[in-house]
């Protein structure tokens, strides 16, 4: 007589619960890894933009300041229009003013007097036109607009330091620029850039 056999028709409740638990753990690990990678990628992109913004800012300032004084004595600044650039670096006011004939004008106008400054209120670097010929007055004159985005990065330092090399015939002026900034949302992400700009036009 043949014996009867029973077939296994499915999983037991314990096996199902264990499978669900293992699946949940695996899914949690995958989601956690994905979130970590996305977060790290987002921070890397923001830090890359911070560095790019500050490097681009320095590039703009270098290129423009090099032209200071082009056009002759009417495009000089400072007391008595004796310099190609004029700067101020106090604890509250940091600014450089200069002028050059950027549009081939026959005569100089107020629009030719321009500059860069640090805005304490907005913690940004600004570019201005129609500024006074003395840097000490750049916070009471001119039309200024932000070059950096105060909603993204906070500029923590901006300085302009002049130095000169002179002989009997002429004076060559250079400017050391230092700019530092950090992400508005995370001060751990910060960057700074230093450069030295040699003005092309001599002071005679």
Residue 122 domain-assigned?
A: yes
Residue 14 domain-assigned?
A: no
Residue 73 domain-assigned?
A: yes
Residue 190 domain-assigned?
A: yes
In the block, tokens 């002071």 appear at: 203
pLDDT at residue 102, rounded to an integer: 95
- Indicate the SS3 state at residue 136: helix
- The DSSP bridge pattern shows strands 153-166 and 143-146 to be unpaired
State which residues form the domain around 52: 46-198
Over the Cα atoms of the chain, what is R_g? 31
Q: Report pLDDT digits (tens) over 89-132.
A: 998 899 999 999 999 999 999 999 999 999 999 999 999 999 99
Is the pTM here over 0.75, yes or no?
Answer: yes
> Could you give the count of Cα atoms lying within 13 Å of 91 in the half-sphere of its Cβ?
0
Residue 32 domain-assigned?
A: no
Residue 94 domain-assigned?
A: yes
Q: Report pLDDT digits (tens) over 58-89.
A: 999 999 999 999 999 999 999 999 999 999 99
Residue 101 domain-assigned?
A: yes
Q: Provide the domain count of the chain.
A: 1
């Amino acid at each position: 007589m043949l014996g009867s056999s029973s077939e296994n028709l499915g999983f037991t409740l314990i096996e199902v619960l264990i499978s669900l638990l293992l699946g949940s753990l695996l899914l949690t690990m995958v989601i956690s890894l994905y979130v970590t990678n996305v977060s790290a990628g987002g921070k890397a992109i923001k830090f890359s933009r911070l560095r790019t913004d500050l490097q681009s800012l320095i590039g703009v300032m270098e290129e423009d300041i090099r032209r200071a004084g082009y056009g002759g004595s009417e495009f000089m600044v400072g007391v008595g229009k004796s310099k190609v650039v004029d700067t101020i670096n106090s604890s509250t006011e940091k600014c450089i003013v200069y002028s050059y004939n950027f549009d081939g004008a026959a005569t100089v106008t107020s629009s030719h007097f321009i500059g860069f400054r640090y805005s304490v209120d907005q913690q940004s670097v600004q570019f201005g036109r129609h500024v006074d010929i003395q840097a000490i007055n750049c916070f009471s004159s001119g039309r200024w607009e932000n070059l950096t985005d105060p909603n993204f990065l906070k500029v923590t330092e901006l300085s302009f330091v002049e130095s000169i090399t002179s002989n009997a015939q002429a004076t060559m002026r250079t400017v050391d620029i230092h700019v530092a900034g950090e992400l508005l949302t995370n001060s751990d992400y910060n960057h700074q850039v230093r450069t030295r700009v040699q003005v092309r036009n001599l002071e005679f």
